[in-house]
């Protein structure tokens, strides 16, 4: 081989090795595609229920990283001022998220300010990956009233723990229903349960079972409002919750009774878990 040809071959081989990492020495590998950060949807939805009800700006444990990613995406869409990008999913962030949902054409319960899977995935396109996605499921009948499949599954497990029947007086998706409900049942996840035939111990046991599987639940008495004795329950982290139901969940996490007076929680003490957390326990 001519010297010129030999030299050209050596140059070509060196170039190939540098591009493929095939040389005998430690050539630099081709740069890997950077993985997207992750947003834990369960944690973000939890923060969106709790943070707006806080009297302070304490962050919801485990939610800061995901909330920051969501807030930065809302900021970049000019829906949230930079000063509110703080990891705190308060009322300002809820309002911004609601505007984002409406910008996608969502209305009603799909634009309630709680991150739903479809809107969150769209918001994260090219920015973050959504993990631990949750959703209410489809609307179904249970005991003659309307609920969703997630709520029905929770209720079935609560009945098993309670060891008896839990008869529904009112279900979900019931706008214009009982006026004493103040809109709580307009969305998903909300139930009123009959206590007919139950004594005080049975009522407490029923609430305990409901709380264990992921409901914010309380016994309601005539002394508290214009209603008969019943159990009121709201499925924590149901992304179709009406605004008032969201507030009740937030208050439950904060040790309150879910009523307008925001008194101390008067129900049995249990470890607060969502339905998804209960299933993983």
Predicted local distance difference test score (pLDDT) of residue 143: 85
Q: Residues 256-278: pLDDT tens digits?
A: 999 999 999 999 999 999 999 99
Place of tokens 């709380």: 211
Q: Is residue 43 predicted with pLDDT exceeding 70?
A: yes
- Of all residues in the chain, the percent with pLDDT exceeding 70 is 88
- Comparing 69 with 31, the larger pLDDT belongs to 69
Predicted local distance difference test score (pLDDT) of residue 213: 98
Predicted local distance difference test score (pLDDT) of residue 23: 41
- Residue ranges per domain, the chain? 1-32, 38-131, 139-280
How large is the average pLDDT for residues 53-65?
A: 96
What is d(CA 70, CA 113) in angstroms, rounded to the nearest whole number? 12
Q: Give the confidence band of 28 by pLDDT, cuts at 50, 70, 90.
A: very low
Q: Give the confidence band of 4 by pLDDT, cuts at 50, 70, 90.
A: very low
In 104-146, alpha helices (H):
117-123
Is 146 strand, coil or helix? Answer: strand
How large is the average pLDDT for residues 137-142?
A: 95
The token duo for 100 is 């984002």
- Of all residues in the chain, the percent with pLDDT exceeding 90 is 83
DSSP state of 170: E
Q: Residues 152-164: pLDDT tens digits?
A: 999 999 999 999 9
The Cα diameter of the chain in Å comes to 104
How large is the average pLDDT for residues 232-260?
A: 97
**Angle CA 31–32–33, to nearest 5:** 120
Listed range (4-8, 64-68, 99-103, 137-141) with the worst mean pLDDT: 4-8
What's the Cα-to-Cα distance from 258 to each of 128, 184, 237, 253, rounded to whole Å?
Answer: 34, 11, 15, 10
Mean confidence (pLDDT) of the chain = 90
Note the pTM of the prediction, 2 decimals.
Answer: 0.87
Q: Is residue 122 predicted with pLDDT exceeding 60?
A: yes
Q: Residues 179-235: pLDDT tens digits?
A: 667 889 999 999 999 999 999 999 999 999 999 999 999 999 999 998 999 999 999
- Comparing 26 with 95, the larger pLDDT belongs to 95
């Amino acid at each position: 081989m001519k010297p010129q040809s030999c030299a050209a071959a050596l140059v070509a081989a060196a170039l190939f090795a540098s591009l493929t990492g095939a040389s005998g020495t430690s050539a630099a590998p081709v740069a890997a595609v950077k993985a997207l950060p992750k947003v834990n949807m369960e944690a973000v939805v939890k923060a969106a229920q709790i943070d707006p009800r806080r009297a302070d700006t304490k962050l919801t444990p485990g939610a800061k990283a995901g909330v920051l990613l969501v807030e930065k995406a809302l900021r970049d869409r000019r829906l949230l001022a930079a000063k509110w990008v703080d990891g705190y999913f308060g009322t300002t962030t809820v309002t911004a998220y609601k505007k984002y949902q409406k910008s996608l054409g969502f209305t009603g319960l799909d634009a309630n300010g709680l991150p739903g899977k479809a809107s969150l995935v769209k918001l994260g396109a090219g920015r973050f990956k959504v993990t631990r996605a949750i959703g209410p499921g489809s609307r179904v009948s249970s005991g003659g009233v309307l609920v969703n499949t997630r709520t029905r599954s929770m209720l079935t497990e609560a009945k098993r723990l309670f060891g008896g029947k839990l008869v529904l007086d009112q279900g979900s998706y019931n706008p214009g229903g009982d006026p004493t409900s103040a809109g709580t049942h307009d969305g998903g996840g909300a139930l009123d349960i009959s206590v007919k035939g139950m004594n005080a111990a049975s009522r407490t046991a029923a609430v305990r079972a409901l709380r264990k599987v992921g409901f914010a639940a309380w016994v309601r008495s005539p002394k508290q409002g214009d209603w008969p004795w019943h159990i009121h329950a709201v499925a924590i982290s149901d992304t179709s919750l009406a605004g008032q139901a969201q507030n009740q969940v937030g208050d439950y996490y904060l040790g309150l009774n879910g009523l307008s007076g925001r008194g101390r929680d008067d129900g049995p003490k249990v470890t607060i878990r969502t339905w998804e957390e209960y299933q993983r326990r």
